[in-house]
Structure 1
Amino acid sequence: MDWAVQRRYLGLTAAVAALGMTAALSGCGGDGESGDVTLKLVAADYGTGEANKSDKYWDRVARRFEASHPGIKVDVTVLPWTDIDRDVAEMVKNGKAPDIAQIGAYADYAKAGKLYSADQMLSIRTQANFLPVLADAGRVSQVQYGLPFVASTRLLFYNKKLFSQSGLDAPQTWNDIADDATALKQHGVKVPFALPLGQEESQAETLMWLLSGGGGYTDDVGSYDIDSDENIKTFNWLKSNLVDKGLVGPVAPAGLNRAKAFAAFTRGEVGMLNGHPTLMQEAEKQGVDVGMVPLPGIAGPTNSSMGVADWIMGFKQNGHRIELGKFFDFMFDDKNVIDFADTYDMLPVTDTASASMETDPKYKPLWKFLAALPNAEFYPFGKTSWAQASESIKKNIGKAVERGANPESVLERISRESSAAENAE
């Protein structure tokens, strides 16, 4: 652990040196400051109720920032995830873009020329401090526009009590999953392996399995490759070894959404499923003893996990580039980054905040997720076609494992629709 932290700090130091520490640490060049400015910030609500609404976090950050930056005010609006992407799109369409939006995607706005790039706003220190895998995921045509706001990774979860009662060890390979699921079913477990391929968020479950089979959504040059040989083999295996053998519970994967699968796990009804840090906390609150391992692959644990990130960005419309840079430099301070990650059981997006959490015993439950983040694979966020590709996956992927289905034909359809969307960009 110590060497990993030291290496991370050395990497950050080298990156900063390479960029040149003599550059100004506020926004760089260009737009000038002009009297009092109010930054309009629209952010998503990560809370599960009144007690942990995101308004409280943003109010703390905004008030502390205003106290140390006279002449700059921050006006915050927090919206539910169900509305925010649509509402921000409407604001932009009506010529009333916020200065800052913390939402799920940035590529459309970047390609339309509506966003400042990271290097137009951020100090060198702030820009160099993003975890490299997240900085790369925020790029369009090699330029970073999406600033990672918060991240998460996925591991395979298993119910330790159910495994112990069935005499099982944690799975490391696909064959282990199939054998363990068979044993769990024989011992009366209702859902040996939960496979949520319903429309809620099946693009996530799908990517986890594709990665474990050596595939993914795109090829080495970034083009969609959803019907690759590796991906077809993965879904053939899922269908033949889990679904057709009745090891995924009474609800067919196409009809099972993630929220239902997670709720069943917290009730102690599920032997295994792919999960994230928030599920870990919720399950343990309900008395479930949770085991976690890297995603099993064909011959052993996979080297890469699926990562998820949400984004924050600065819009050009109001010309507040310098003020935006000051706010982002303040917001990405370790205190603020860790505060948000800790409140919502998420992962920090910067090197220094990650290193701090990796050495603090308070965050030991998150260490496995933190360890997976540097090698995580993300959705192709930089593609404006990703929204359409994701919808095709959510609508169709569950059909690939239905009785009598041909996984190859379903993957071919998704790949065809995704490539058509990409070619239309």
Structure 2
Amino acid sequence: MNRARKGAVVGTAVALVCSVAAGCGSAGGGSNTANAAQSGGAKPIDTAHAKGTIVWATPPITQTGLPETMVKAFEQSHPNIKVKLQLQDNNTDTNRASLTTAIGGGSNTPDVYLGDVVWPAQFAANQLAKPLTGLVPNSFWNRFADGLVQGATYHGKVYAAPFFVDTAFLFYRKDLLAKAGLSVPKTWEDVQKDAQILQKKGLVKYGFVWQGASYEGLLCDFDEYLADAGGQVLDKDGKPAIDSAAAKKALTFMRGLITSGVTPKSVVQFTEQESQNVFTEGNAAFIRNWSYAWPNSQDPKASKVVGKVGVTALPSFNGGTGYSTIGGWDLYVNPHTKNLPAALAFIDWMTGKQAQSILAKQFSEIPTNKQVQNDPSVKQKSPIFSIVPKVKYVSRPAQNPNYPAIAKAVYSNVNAALAGSVSTDKALANAAKQIQSALGGNGGL
């Protein structure tokens, strides 16, 4: 998704509900091992003798300076390896197209690239990522939090190393709730009701902002309501299941946020950046956004709501914790790289304790390394880290190589309904037909 400087695992069925931090599994148990993916061993990664120069392609994700900070620390630890940054577009679709063109054309650079967690099946099926299975020892995968390796697996092989996790939260103006005598909402209906109260009291211009533009981010928003309503985009057999009563409930609620005035009509053009700008300017009471919205809201140079923001897990229709879409970014290796040892050394370090601690402590990103996730000093850095274990996750239909076309069928039709161009019934019927077409044809890269 365009993570606004930013961005699955389900068999072929979408929205497989998980309790993990970027894939399928349980934050408190389960296994990180995909049996087929772990069947082959390899010698330990030879970081001592790796040398030369590699190119790392990365979009300008998260806070300013993350890629540069990581490269500097890596080069200090590996003086024989130099890393050249290749900054990609901040729009995920544009970034994906650029990498597809370059690697698909046989280019040996970039050697390593940062890609969305929904890419493994697409890139593996099109020979755009080198399988890491057999190149690293089985023990390498044990460092990751439960479920993450499965999320990077396609047809029994692991195609990427999880770099950082992301998911959505509800951020709210705690000062405004206090003025109105309101508690933190527990249901989606409470969010709408409380937002209207705050608006009527003249405390805020908008009640609730989110991502409603016709792009990947809208799929993530919709998928959360859909899972909470008991629905899914594809059924367990991989067939369209979006034209359902649950989907109608989800979409009707989203449209109602707009028609009630709680959410501005312009939300149909909002990505993460636009919604975040409205919130940090102090013009919205609630926002659904990714974890990086917390440090952004506390940046005195960019935010007017420093010290006034609270954060909680997304609510549900029935009370309790709702569902949150799995997001995040993985590290992939170009199958044409001319310096595989250095590329593997880079990935080894980037997913190790030092790099993952930098991600968490300096940039408030959710680490994939489970030792770092459980480090008390890391948990103290952001309220996000203490909420993560409570989150219920929902995946996107990413384990199908035709995912881009499936995703477009969802977000383009949902956007049309939100804009009032078509009815919710028509939008869902159209989405189902287009998904069926994508499943039957070449809707991938």
TM-score by length of 1: 0.82
Structure 2 contact 40–134 (Cα < 8 Å) conserved: no
Structure 2 contact 219–407 (Cα < 8 Å) conserved: yes
Q: Distance in 1 between matches of 2:336 and 2:41?
A: 29
Q: Post-superposition shift, 1:46?
A: 2.5
Q: Distance in 1 between matches of 2:158 and 2:122?
A: 13
Cα 1:14/1:210, change in 2 over 3 Å: closer
User: Which amino acid in the other structure matches residue 308 of structure 1?
Assistant: G
SS across alignment from 2:401: coil
Question: Where in structure 2 are the equivalents of 1:48-67 lying within 5 Å?
Answer: 49=64, 52=65, 54-67=67-80
SS across alignment from 1:150: strand
Q: Distance in 2 between matches of 1:156 and 1:60?
A: 33
Find the counterpart in structure 1 of residue 247 from structure 2.
231
Find the counterpart in structure 2 of residue 91 from structure 1.
102
What is the aligned counterpart of 1:248 among 263, 272, 283?
263
Structure 1 contact 154–369 (Cα < 8 Å) conserved: no
Q: Post-superposition shift, 1:108?
A: 2.9
Cα 1:218/1:310, change in 2 over 3 Å: farther
Cα RMSD, aligned residues only: 3.5
Cα 1:269/1:115, change in 2 over 3 Å: closer
Q: Distance in 1 between matches of 2:102 and 2:33?
A: 40
What is the total number of aligned residue pairs between the two structures? 404
Question: Where in structure 2 are the equivalents of 1:302-341 lying within 5 Å?
Answer: 302=321, 304-318=323-337, 320-341=339-360
Q: Distance in 2 between matches of 1:229 and 1:146?
A: 36
1:291 aligns with 2:310: yes
User: Which amino acid in the other structure matches residue 191 of structure 1?
Assistant: Y
Deviations 1:36-76 (A, max 9, x none): 65444323332655xx2523322321342245xxxx65444
Structure 1 contact 389–417 (Cα < 8 Å) conserved: yes
Cα 1:173/1:121, change in 2 over 3 Å: same
What is the aligned counterpart of 2:225 among 209, 219, 223?
209
Find the counterpart in structure 2 of residue 30 from structure 1.
none
Q: Distance in 1 between matches of 2:29 and 2:274?
A: 43
Find the counterpart in structure 1 of residue 88 from structure 2.
79
What is the aligned counterpart of 2:432 among 405, 415, 421?
415
SS across alignment from 1:121: coil
Structure 1 contact 115–315 (Cα < 8 Å) conserved: yes
Deviations 1:78-102 (A, max 9, x none): 3343464333222213311333221
Q: Post-superposition shift, 1:159?
A: 0.9
Find the counterpart in structure 2 of residue 171 from structure 1.
185
Find the counterpart in structure 2 of residue 4 from structure 1.
none
Which runs of no fewer than 5 residues in structure 2 stay unpaired? 1-25
Find the counterpart in structure 2 of residue 380 from structure 1.
397
Q: Post-superposition shift, 1:295?
A: 1.5
Deviations 1:1-27 (A, max 9, x none): xxxxxx9799789999xx799964337
Q: Post-superposition shift, 1:35?
A: 9.2
Cα 1:112/1:247, change in 2 over 3 Å: closer
Which runs of no fewer than 5 residues in structure 1 stay unpaired? 1-6, 28-32
Cα 1:140/1:419, change in 2 over 3 Å: farther
Structure 2 contact 323–393 (Cα < 8 Å) conserved: yes
Q: Post-superposition shift, 1:266?
A: 1.1
SS across alignment from 1:376: strand
Structure 1 contact 43–77 (Cα < 8 Å) conserved: yes
Structure 1 contact 122–326 (Cα < 8 Å) conserved: no
Moved more, 128-137 or 156-165: 128-137
Q: Post-superposition shift, 1:335?
A: 0.8
User: Which amino acid in the other structure matches residue 369 of structure 2?
Assistant: T
Structure 2 contact 42–134 (Cα < 8 Å) conserved: no
Q: Distance in 2 between matches of 1:322 and 1:106?
A: 21
Q: Distance in 1 between matches of 2:241 and 2:59?
A: 32
Q: Distance in 2 between matches of 1:272 and 1:284?
A: 15
Q: Distance in 2 between matches of 1:340 and 1:47?
A: 10
User: Which amino acid in the other structure matches residue 441 of structure 2?
Assistant: A
Cα 1:344/1:412, change in 2 over 3 Å: farther
Q: Distance in 1 between matches of 2:198 and 2:138?
A: 53
Q: Post-superposition shift, 1:402?
A: 4.1
User: Which amino acid in the other structure matches residue 339 of structure 1?
Assistant: I
Q: Distance in 1 between matches of 2:60 and 2:273?
A: 18
- Computing the radius of gyration over CA atoms, which structure comes out larger, 1 or 2? 1
Q: Distance in 1 between matches of 2:288 and 2:440?
A: 33
Structure 2 contact 313–387 (Cα < 8 Å) conserved: no
Find the counterpart in structure 2 of residue 392 from structure 1.
409
User: Which amino acid in the other structure matches residue 117 of structure 1?
Assistant: P
Query: In percent, how many aligned pairs have the same letter?
Result: 17
Cα 1:218/1:197, change in 2 over 3 Å: same
Find the counterpart in structure 2 of residue 363 from structure 1.
381
Question: Which of the two has greater helix per residue?
Answer: 1
User: Which amino acid in the other structure matches residue 41 of structure 1?
Assistant: W
Structure 2 contact 186–316 (Cα < 8 Å) conserved: yes
Q: Distance in 2 between matches of 1:14 and 1:135?
A: 7
Q: Post-superposition shift, 1:274?
A: 0.8
Cα 1:336/1:405, change in 2 over 3 Å: same
Cα 1:303/1:209, change in 2 over 3 Å: closer
SS across alignment from 1:291: strand
Moved more, 359-368 or 227-236: 359-368
Cα 1:62/1:294, change in 2 over 3 Å: same
TM-score by length of 2: 0.79
Find the counterpart in structure 1 of residue 168 from structure 2.
154
Moved more, 284-293 or 407-416: 284-293
